[in-house]
Chain A
């Protein structure tokens, strides 16, 4: 299985993602943002970081970069596109995912482990994970997911909520909302479920010597379904 990780100026989770993808069997290649085409891939990943210094709005400049046209074409033809953290912000700025990631409600940069509840398993990203709650890591200043009421209804009606912030028992209420995100949303799909954007970093949880291994479940499932 072939994957491509796009590197933007300011990406800083690209190598972690490369290590994670290779560990679970992907033949990964790194692709520069100013390239015109993406080599043949089964999965494209937009990694975390601070593309273009977060200028204007997080992900807005990256969303207009040269490589993005190829990403959009790949996504629109049904290809799997995964955006983590800044990658999620880029996906909303390109319009591939609805809504936007605003500054965290309490204006703080949050860097900690959180629990997220899997809300929809009828997709390639979570299909065979036999856990309902995953412990993952977040590190962001703009993770406060927002969309209009009409959009929220359409997202809910189409089963587009992927993961929500919760406690270790899976309670995704306001007490377990780290950043003010509407409905505790930590990640969403497009309607067709081939595009996933989420704030938590599964690539940071793939080794017992790091802070946990629930990210391994995510990648093991992904390689099995691509």
Chain B
């Protein structure tokens, strides 16, 4: 089954790319954009039919590799 994961920077961690995107959007007439936070999206195919098992495996993957918990949070969709 397919498991989707989003990894984002934690609140309070500086996101210079997000900031640059926000400023560019502001300059493109989207003046009402007050913040952009950039993240990563993972589409993971796990050879496992049990959804709970697959998700708990992906959770391990997030903790061990996909996210660095010093600055990032993960969310399994």
Residue pair B68, A57 in contact (C-beta under 8 Å): yes
Give the Cβ gap from B24 to chain A, nearest Cβ, in Å. 12
The B-contacting residues of A in range 93-117, CB under 8 angstroms, are 93, 98-100, 102-107
Residue pair B70, A107 in contact (C-beta under 8 Å): no
Cβ contact of B71, chosen from A60, A64, A102, A107, cutoff 8 A: A102
Give the Cβ gap from A31 to chain B, nearest Cβ, in Å. 23
Residue pair A103, B71 in contact (C-beta under 8 Å): no
B residues with a Cβ closer than 8 A to A are 13-14, 16-17, 20, 65-66, 68, 70-71
Task: Give the residue name and chain of the B residue nearest to A180 (CB).
Answer: B14
Residue pair A146, B68 in contact (C-beta under 8 Å): no
Chain B residues with CB under 8 A of A93: 68
Q: Is A148 an interface residue (CB 8 A)?
A: yes
Residue pair A100, B16 in contact (C-beta under 8 Å): no
Cβ contact of A103, chosen from B16, B65, B66, B68, cutoff 8 A: B16
A residues with a Cβ closer than 8 A to B are 56-57, 60, 64, 92-93, 98-100, 102-107, 144, 146-148, 151, 180
Cβ contact of B68, chosen from A60, A106, A107, A180, cutoff 8 A: A60
Tell me, in angstroms, the Cα distance from A60 to B65 when the chains sit together.
7
Give the Cβ gap from B40 to chain A, nearest Cβ, in Å. 8
Chain A residues with CB under 8 A of B13: 102, 146
What are 9 of the A-B contact pairs (CB < 8 Å)? A60-B68, A93-B68, A100-B71, A102-B13, A102-B14, A105-B16, A107-B16, A144-B14, A146-B13
Tell me, in angstroms, the Cα distance from A206 to B65 when the chains sit together.
36
Task: Give the residue name and chain of the B residue nearest to A106 (CB).
Answer: B16
Tell me, in angstroms, the Cα distance from A103 to B9 when the chains sit together.
12
Given contacts A103-B17, A106-B16, A107-B17, contact A146 B65 (CB under 8 A): no
Given contacts A105-B14, A105-B16, A180-B14, contact A99 B65 (CB under 8 A): no
Give the Cβ gap from A181 to chain B, nearest Cβ, in Å. 11
Give the Cβ gap from B48 to chain A, nearest Cβ, in Å. 21
Tell me, in angstroms, the Cα distance from A93 to B72 when the chains sit together.
13
Chain B residues with CB under 8 A of A56: 65-66
Tell me, in angstroms, the Cα distance from A50 to B70 when the chains sit together.
21
Given contacts A105-B14, A106-B16, contact A100 B66 (CB under 8 A): no
Most buried by B among A57, A92, A103: A57
Most buried by A among B13, B66, B68: B68
Chain B residues with CB under 8 A of A57: 68
Given contacts A107-B17, A146-B70, 17 further A-B contacts (CB under 8 A): A56-B65, A60-B68, A64-B65, A98-B70, A100-B68, A100-B70, A103-B16, A105-B14, A105-B16, A107-B20, A144-B14, A146-B13, A146-B14, A146-B71, A147-B70, A148-B70, A151-B70
